[in-house]
Amino acid sequence: MKAQLPVTILTGFLGSGKTTLLKRILQEKHGLRIGVILNEFGEISIDGELVNLPEEGLMQLSNGCLCCTVREDFERAARELLQHAQALDYLVVETSGVADPRQVTELFVQRAFHEDLRLDGVVTLVDGAEYWHNFRRSQTAAHQISSADILLLNKVDLITPIEQEQILADLRRYNPDAPCLLTAHAQVPLARILDVHAFRPEEWDPKLPDLEAEAHPSHHLEEDGIQSVSFQLQQPLDLAAFRDWLQDLPETIFRAKGVLWVVDEPQRVIFHQVGQRQTLFLERDWDPQEPRLSKIVLIGKGLEREQLAADLSRVAAG
Protein backbone atom coordinates (compact mmCIF):
# COMPACT_ATOMS: atom_id res chain seq x y z
CA MET A 1 0.00 0.00 0.00
CA LYS A 2 1.06 3.56 -0.71
CA ALA A 3 2.09 5.45 2.41
CA GLN A 4 -0.15 8.30 3.49
CA LEU A 5 1.29 11.79 3.15
CA PRO A 6 1.42 13.39 6.63
CA VAL A 7 -0.30 16.76 7.01
CA THR A 8 -0.02 19.48 9.65
CA ILE A 9 -2.68 22.18 9.86
CA LEU A 10 -1.41 25.55 11.09
CA THR A 11 -4.23 27.64 12.50
CA GLY A 12 -4.66 30.57 14.85
CA PHE A 13 -6.34 33.95 14.85
CA LEU A 14 -5.30 36.84 12.63
CA GLY A 15 -1.73 37.95 13.27
CA SER A 16 -0.85 35.10 15.64
CA GLY A 17 2.33 34.16 13.74
CA LYS A 18 1.26 31.36 11.39
CA THR A 19 3.17 32.62 8.35
CA THR A 20 6.26 33.28 10.48
CA LEU A 21 6.16 29.66 11.62
CA LEU A 22 5.53 28.43 8.08
CA LYS A 23 8.59 30.30 6.82
CA ARG A 24 10.67 28.73 9.61
CA ILE A 25 9.43 25.27 8.65
CA LEU A 26 10.39 25.82 5.01
CA GLN A 27 13.78 27.34 5.78
CA GLU A 28 14.86 24.71 8.32
CA LYS A 29 17.43 22.15 7.14
CA HIS A 30 15.35 19.05 7.82
CA GLY A 31 15.67 17.42 4.41
CA LEU A 32 11.90 17.15 3.93
CA ARG A 33 10.24 18.08 0.66
CA ILE A 34 7.27 20.06 1.92
CA GLY A 35 4.19 21.08 -0.02
CA VAL A 36 2.04 23.98 1.17
CA ILE A 37 -1.61 24.92 0.84
CA LEU A 38 -1.90 28.54 1.90
CA ASN A 39 -5.29 30.15 2.54
CA GLU A 40 -5.69 33.92 2.85
CA PHE A 41 -8.93 35.67 3.68
CA GLY A 42 -8.20 38.74 1.56
CA GLU A 43 -8.62 38.87 -2.20
CA ILE A 44 -4.93 39.77 -2.60
CA SER A 45 -2.29 37.26 -1.51
CA ILE A 46 0.34 38.81 0.76
CA ASP A 47 1.61 35.82 2.73
CA GLY A 48 2.12 33.83 -0.46
CA GLU A 49 4.63 36.42 -1.67
CA LEU A 50 6.59 36.15 1.56
CA VAL A 51 6.87 32.37 1.59
CA ASN A 52 9.98 31.28 -0.27
CA LEU A 53 8.79 28.11 -1.97
CA PRO A 54 8.98 26.86 -5.56
CA GLU A 55 5.70 27.42 -7.36
CA GLU A 56 5.16 23.73 -8.04
CA GLY A 57 4.94 23.02 -4.30
CA LEU A 58 2.66 25.89 -3.32
CA MET A 59 -1.12 26.14 -3.70
CA GLN A 60 -2.68 29.48 -2.78
CA LEU A 61 -6.36 29.89 -1.93
CA SER A 62 -7.34 33.55 -1.61
CA ASN A 63 -10.47 35.63 -1.10
CA GLY A 64 -12.26 33.30 1.26
CA CYS A 65 -12.15 31.07 4.29
CA LEU A 66 -10.77 27.55 3.98
CA CYS A 67 -13.47 26.01 6.14
CA CYS A 68 -16.37 27.42 4.13
CA THR A 69 -16.22 29.63 1.03
CA VAL A 70 -13.10 28.04 -0.52
CA ARG A 71 -13.68 24.57 0.88
CA GLU A 72 -14.12 23.00 -2.57
CA ASP A 73 -11.01 24.84 -3.79
CA PHE A 74 -9.08 23.21 -0.96
CA GLU A 75 -10.20 19.75 -1.99
CA ARG A 76 -9.14 20.44 -5.58
CA ALA A 77 -5.77 21.79 -4.40
CA ALA A 78 -5.17 18.73 -2.23
CA ARG A 79 -5.99 16.37 -5.09
CA GLU A 80 -3.69 18.31 -7.44
CA LEU A 81 -0.82 18.07 -4.97
CA LEU A 82 -1.50 14.38 -4.52
CA GLN A 83 -0.86 13.88 -8.24
CA HIS A 84 2.73 14.83 -7.44
CA ALA A 85 2.81 13.17 -4.03
CA GLN A 86 5.87 11.12 -4.92
CA ALA A 87 7.81 14.40 -4.96
CA LEU A 88 6.63 15.38 -1.47
CA ASP A 89 7.40 14.11 2.02
CA TYR A 90 5.04 16.34 3.95
CA LEU A 91 2.14 18.76 3.51
CA VAL A 92 1.49 21.88 5.59
CA VAL A 93 -1.88 23.64 5.41
CA GLU A 94 -1.97 27.21 6.71
CA THR A 95 -5.56 28.33 7.25
CA SER A 96 -6.70 31.92 7.22
CA GLY A 97 -6.90 33.61 10.61
CA VAL A 98 -10.69 33.37 10.61
CA ALA A 99 -10.97 29.69 9.64
CA ASP A 100 -12.68 27.22 11.96
CA PRO A 101 -10.30 24.22 12.03
CA ARG A 102 -13.06 21.81 13.05
CA GLN A 103 -14.46 21.91 9.54
CA VAL A 104 -11.00 21.65 7.98
CA THR A 105 -10.30 18.57 10.13
CA GLU A 106 -13.51 17.02 8.88
CA LEU A 107 -12.14 17.08 5.33
CA PHE A 108 -9.34 14.74 6.35
CA VAL A 109 -11.52 12.41 8.38
CA GLN A 110 -14.58 12.05 6.18
CA ARG A 111 -13.60 12.87 2.60
CA ALA A 112 -12.43 10.47 -0.09
CA PHE A 113 -8.77 11.46 -0.06
CA HIS A 114 -8.28 10.60 3.63
CA GLU A 115 -6.74 7.34 2.43
CA ASP A 116 -3.95 9.37 0.80
CA LEU A 117 -3.42 11.97 3.52
CA ARG A 118 -2.76 11.42 7.22
CA LEU A 119 -3.59 14.35 9.47
CA ASP A 120 -0.64 14.50 11.83
CA GLY A 121 -1.99 17.31 13.97
CA VAL A 122 -3.67 20.68 14.29
CA VAL A 123 -1.18 23.27 15.58
CA THR A 124 -2.87 26.41 16.89
CA LEU A 125 -0.84 29.56 17.44
CA VAL A 126 -2.13 31.90 20.13
CA ASP A 127 -1.15 35.58 20.21
CA GLY A 128 -0.30 36.25 23.84
CA ALA A 129 -0.40 40.04 23.43
CA GLU A 130 -3.86 40.02 21.78
CA TYR A 131 -5.32 37.01 23.58
CA TRP A 132 -8.22 38.63 25.42
CA HIS A 133 -8.99 41.03 22.56
CA ASN A 134 -9.35 38.18 20.08
CA PHE A 135 -12.13 36.55 22.06
CA ARG A 136 -14.12 39.75 21.76
CA ARG A 137 -13.43 39.93 18.03
CA SER A 138 -14.57 36.44 17.04
CA GLN A 139 -16.03 33.21 18.40
CA THR A 140 -13.63 31.43 16.04
CA ALA A 141 -10.69 32.17 18.36
CA ALA A 142 -12.14 29.78 20.95
CA HIS A 143 -12.82 27.09 18.32
CA GLN A 144 -9.22 27.30 17.10
CA ILE A 145 -7.96 26.70 20.63
CA SER A 146 -10.36 23.89 21.51
CA SER A 147 -9.57 22.09 18.22
CA ALA A 148 -5.80 22.07 18.71
CA ASP A 149 -3.70 18.96 19.14
CA ILE A 150 -0.76 21.25 19.99
CA LEU A 151 -0.96 24.82 21.27
CA LEU A 152 1.76 27.44 20.79
CA LEU A 153 1.42 30.42 23.10
CA ASN A 154 3.32 32.86 20.89
CA LYS A 155 4.72 36.35 21.54
CA VAL A 156 5.42 35.60 25.19
CA ASP A 157 8.12 38.27 24.95
CA LEU A 158 5.31 40.85 24.81
CA ILE A 159 3.50 39.79 28.00
CA THR A 160 4.38 39.60 31.68
CA PRO A 161 4.85 36.34 33.61
CA ILE A 162 1.56 36.98 35.41
CA GLU A 163 -0.29 37.52 32.11
CA GLN A 164 1.33 34.37 30.78
CA GLU A 165 0.02 32.28 33.67
CA GLN A 166 -3.47 33.77 33.31
CA ILE A 167 -3.55 32.88 29.62
CA LEU A 168 -2.21 29.37 30.24
CA ALA A 169 -4.97 28.79 32.80
CA ASP A 170 -7.58 29.97 30.31
CA LEU A 171 -6.13 27.79 27.55
CA ARG A 172 -6.43 24.75 29.82
CA ARG A 173 -10.07 25.64 30.36
CA TYR A 174 -10.74 25.46 26.61
CA ASN A 175 -8.38 22.59 25.86
CA PRO A 176 -7.06 20.68 28.88
CA ASP A 177 -5.42 17.91 26.85
CA ALA A 178 -3.24 19.63 24.23
CA PRO A 179 0.37 20.34 25.21
CA CYS A 180 1.18 24.06 25.19
CA LEU A 181 4.59 25.32 24.12
CA LEU A 182 5.77 28.85 24.89
CA THR A 183 7.29 30.71 21.94
CA ALA A 184 8.48 34.10 20.76
CA HIS A 185 8.60 34.84 17.03
CA ALA A 186 7.21 31.31 16.51
CA GLN A 187 10.60 29.81 17.47
CA VAL A 188 9.80 26.19 18.28
CA PRO A 189 11.77 22.95 17.71
CA LEU A 190 10.11 21.47 14.63
CA ALA A 191 10.45 17.98 16.11
CA ARG A 192 7.79 19.06 18.61
CA ILE A 193 5.16 19.86 15.99
CA LEU A 194 5.88 17.86 12.81
CA ASP A 195 5.35 14.12 12.33
CA VAL A 196 4.36 13.69 15.98
CA HIS A 197 1.11 11.74 15.40
CA ALA A 198 -0.78 14.17 17.61
CA PHE A 199 -4.15 13.79 15.87
CA ARG A 200 -6.13 10.69 16.86
CA PRO A 201 -8.96 10.09 14.39
CA GLU A 202 -10.57 7.48 16.62
CA GLU A 203 -11.06 10.14 19.30
CA TRP A 204 -12.36 12.83 16.95
CA ASP A 205 -16.07 13.49 17.41
CA PRO A 206 -17.79 15.22 14.47
CA LYS A 207 -20.83 15.81 16.68
CA LEU A 208 -19.21 18.01 19.28
CA PRO A 209 -21.90 20.20 20.87
CA ASP A 210 -20.33 23.47 19.73
CA LEU A 211 -20.43 22.39 16.09
CA GLU A 212 -24.17 23.11 16.24
CA ALA A 213 -24.70 21.06 13.06
CA GLU A 214 -24.17 24.18 10.98
CA ALA A 215 -26.20 23.95 7.79
CA HIS A 216 -24.49 27.06 6.44
CA PRO A 217 -20.71 26.75 6.76
CA SER A 218 -20.13 30.51 6.36
CA HIS A 219 -22.23 31.10 9.48
CA HIS A 220 -19.27 31.95 11.70
CA LEU A 221 -18.12 34.78 9.43
CA GLU A 222 -21.61 36.22 9.07
CA GLU A 223 -22.16 36.13 12.83
CA ASP A 224 -18.81 37.75 13.59
CA GLY A 225 -19.23 40.35 10.84
CA ILE A 226 -15.59 39.96 9.79
CA GLN A 227 -14.72 41.28 6.34
CA SER A 228 -11.69 42.18 4.27
CA VAL A 229 -10.83 44.99 1.88
CA SER A 230 -7.77 45.11 -0.36
CA PHE A 231 -6.03 47.86 -2.30
CA GLN A 232 -3.37 48.05 -5.00
CA LEU A 233 -1.67 51.41 -5.52
CA GLN A 234 0.32 52.27 -8.63
CA GLN A 235 2.12 55.28 -7.11
CA PRO A 236 4.99 55.15 -4.57
CA LEU A 237 4.00 55.94 -1.00
CA ASP A 238 5.39 58.46 1.44
CA LEU A 239 6.51 56.22 4.31
CA ALA A 240 5.97 58.77 7.11
CA ALA A 241 2.48 59.55 5.83
CA PHE A 242 1.71 55.83 5.58
CA ARG A 243 2.78 55.27 9.19
CA ASP A 244 0.41 58.06 10.24
CA TRP A 245 -2.37 56.46 8.18
CA LEU A 246 -1.78 53.13 9.90
CA GLN A 247 -1.81 54.78 13.31
CA ASP A 248 -5.16 56.42 12.57
CA LEU A 249 -6.94 53.26 11.41
CA PRO A 250 -10.14 52.64 13.39
CA GLU A 251 -10.03 50.05 16.17
CA THR A 252 -12.49 47.94 14.20
CA ILE A 253 -9.55 47.05 11.92
CA PHE A 254 -7.56 44.52 13.89
CA ARG A 255 -5.29 43.15 11.14
CA ALA A 256 -3.44 44.94 8.33
CA LYS A 257 -0.59 43.69 6.15
CA GLY A 258 1.01 44.40 2.83
CA VAL A 259 3.91 45.01 0.49
CA LEU A 260 4.78 48.67 -0.11
CA TRP A 261 6.44 50.61 -2.90
CA VAL A 262 8.03 53.54 -1.05
CA VAL A 263 9.40 56.66 -2.70
CA ASP A 264 13.22 56.76 -2.95
CA GLU A 265 13.49 53.23 -1.56
CA PRO A 266 14.91 50.53 -3.87
CA GLN A 267 13.66 47.70 -1.65
CA ARG A 268 10.19 46.37 -0.96
CA VAL A 269 8.81 47.36 2.44
CA ILE A 270 6.73 44.77 4.29
CA PHE A 271 4.32 45.91 6.97
CA HIS A 272 2.16 44.19 9.55
CA GLN A 273 -0.25 45.63 12.07
CA VAL A 274 -1.96 43.55 14.75
CA GLY A 275 -4.10 45.61 17.09
CA GLN A 276 -2.00 48.69 17.79
CA ARG A 277 1.37 47.03 17.13
CA GLN A 278 3.11 47.92 13.88
CA THR A 279 6.07 46.26 12.18
CA LEU A 280 7.70 47.61 9.01
CA PHE A 281 10.90 46.24 7.51
CA LEU A 282 12.87 46.14 4.27
CA GLU A 283 12.60 42.79 2.53
CA ARG A 284 14.57 42.73 -0.73
CA ASP A 285 15.27 44.73 -3.88
CA TRP A 286 12.45 44.97 -6.37
CA ASP A 287 12.85 42.45 -9.15
CA PRO A 288 13.30 44.31 -12.48
CA GLN A 289 10.67 42.00 -14.01
CA GLU A 290 7.96 42.62 -11.39
CA PRO A 291 5.64 45.64 -11.44
CA ARG A 292 6.23 48.15 -8.67
CA LEU A 293 3.05 48.68 -6.72
CA SER A 294 1.72 48.53 -3.18
CA LYS A 295 -0.59 45.74 -2.03
CA ILE A 296 -2.53 46.32 1.17
CA VAL A 297 -5.03 44.07 2.97
CA LEU A 298 -7.21 45.17 5.88
CA ILE A 299 -9.35 42.80 7.97
CA GLY A 300 -11.88 43.84 10.56
CA LYS A 301 -15.51 44.79 11.09
CA GLY A 302 -17.64 47.54 9.62
CA LEU A 303 -15.03 48.49 7.03
CA GLU A 304 -15.86 51.52 4.89
CA ARG A 305 -13.97 50.88 1.69
CA GLU A 306 -14.56 54.26 0.03
CA GLN A 307 -13.38 56.24 3.06
CA LEU A 308 -10.34 54.02 3.53
CA ALA A 309 -9.47 54.38 -0.16
CA ALA A 310 -9.81 58.16 -0.01
CA ASP A 311 -7.55 58.39 3.06
CA LEU A 312 -5.04 56.03 1.50
CA SER A 313 -4.85 58.00 -1.74
CA ARG A 314 -3.50 60.97 0.19
CA VAL A 315 -0.53 58.85 1.30
CA ALA A 316 0.73 58.41 -2.27
CA ALA A 317 3.78 60.53 -2.95
CA GLY A 318 3.24 63.00 -5.71
In the prediction, which pLDDT does 57 show? 54
Whether 172 and 196 map to the same domain: the answer is yes
The answer to whether residue 65 sits within a structural domain is: yes
The answer to whether residue 237 sits within a structural domain is: yes
Give the pLDDT band (50/70/90) at residue 41: confident
Say if strands 117-127 and 150-154 run parallel, antiparallel, or are unpaired: parallel
Whether 197 and 280 map to the same domain: the answer is no
The answer to whether residue 318 sits within a structural domain is: no
In the prediction, which pLDDT does 239 show? 92
Overall average pLDDT of the 112-130 stretch: 89
Please name the residue ranges forming H helices in the chain: 18-27, 47-50, 71-82, 101-110, 131-137, 140-146, 161-174, 219-224, 239-247, 305-313
Whether 237 and 270 map to the same domain: the answer is yes
Q: How many CB atoms lie within 10 A of CB 17?
A: 23
The answer to whether residue 26 sits within a structural domain is: yes
Q: Which of 205, 221, 237 is the last residue of a domain?
A: 221
pLDDT greater at residue 217 or residue 98 = 98
pLDDT greater at residue 63 or residue 122 = 122
CA–CA dist 17, 22 (Å, integer): 9
The answer to whether residue 103 sits within a structural domain is: yes
Eight-class DSSP state of 159? S
CA–CA dist 249, 138 (Å, integer): 19
Give the pLDDT band (50/70/90) at residue 182: very high
Gyration radius of the chain over CA positions: 19
Q: Which of 81-90, 146-155, 214-223, 230-239 has the highest mean pLDDT?
A: 146-155
pLDDT greater at residue 115 or residue 23 = 23
- The model's pLDDT over 276-305, given as tens digits with 9 standing for 90+, comes to 888 999 989 998 888 999 999 999 998 988
Whether 83 and 148 map to the same domain: the answer is yes
Whether 248 and 165 map to the same domain: the answer is no
Give the pLDDT band (50/70/90) at residue 270: very high
Dihedral class, residue 15 (left if φ above 0, else alpha if ψ from -120 to 50, else beta):
left
- The model's pLDDT over 70-113, given as tens digits with 9 standing for 90+, comes to 456 677 777 777 776 677 889 899 988 888 888 778 777 766 66
The answer to whether residue 135 sits within a structural domain is: yes
CA–CA dist 312, 308 (Å, integer): 6
In the prediction, which pLDDT does 211 show? 39
Measured N-to-C along each axis, helices 71-82 and 101-110 cross at an angle, to the nearest 10 degrees, of 50
pLDDT greater at residue 193 or residue 52 = 193
> Partners of 221 in the beta sheet?
none
Q: Which of 193, 221, 249 is the last residue of a domain?
A: 221
Residues 6+ apart with CB under 8 A from 237: 260, 261, 262, 263, 294, 315, 316, 317
The answer to whether residue 186 sits within a structural domain is: yes
Whether 143 and 29 map to the same domain: the answer is yes
Whether 135 and 251 map to the same domain: the answer is no
Report how many domains make up the chain.
2
Whether 198 and 246 map to the same domain: the answer is no
Q: Which domain holds residue 257?
A: 226-313
In the prediction, which pLDDT does 68 show? 43
* CATH number of the domain within which 79 lies: 3.40.50.300
Whether 67 and 171 map to the same domain: the answer is yes
Spatial CA neighbour of 98 closest among 69, 132, 130, 59: 69
Spatial CA neighbour of 77 closest among 94, 64, 59: 59
CA–CA dist 66, 101 (Å, integer): 9
Chain mean pLDDT for the chain: 83
* CATH number of the domain within which 255 lies: 3.30.1220.10
Whether 129 and 52 map to the same domain: the answer is yes
Overall average pLDDT of the 245-254 stretch: 89
In the prediction, which pLDDT does 63 show? 44
In the prediction, which pLDDT does 38 show? 82
Whether 189 and 250 map to the same domain: the answer is no
Half-sphere exposure of 73 (CA within 13 A, CB side): 17
Give the pLDDT band (50/70/90) at residue 147: very high
Write the CA distances from 93 to 11, 110, 192, 197, integer angstroms. Answer: 8, 17, 17, 16
CA–CA dist 112, 214 (Å, integer): 21
Q: Which of 169, 186, 221 is the last residue of a domain?
A: 221
Whether 230 and 146 map to the same domain: the answer is no
Give the global pTM. 0.86
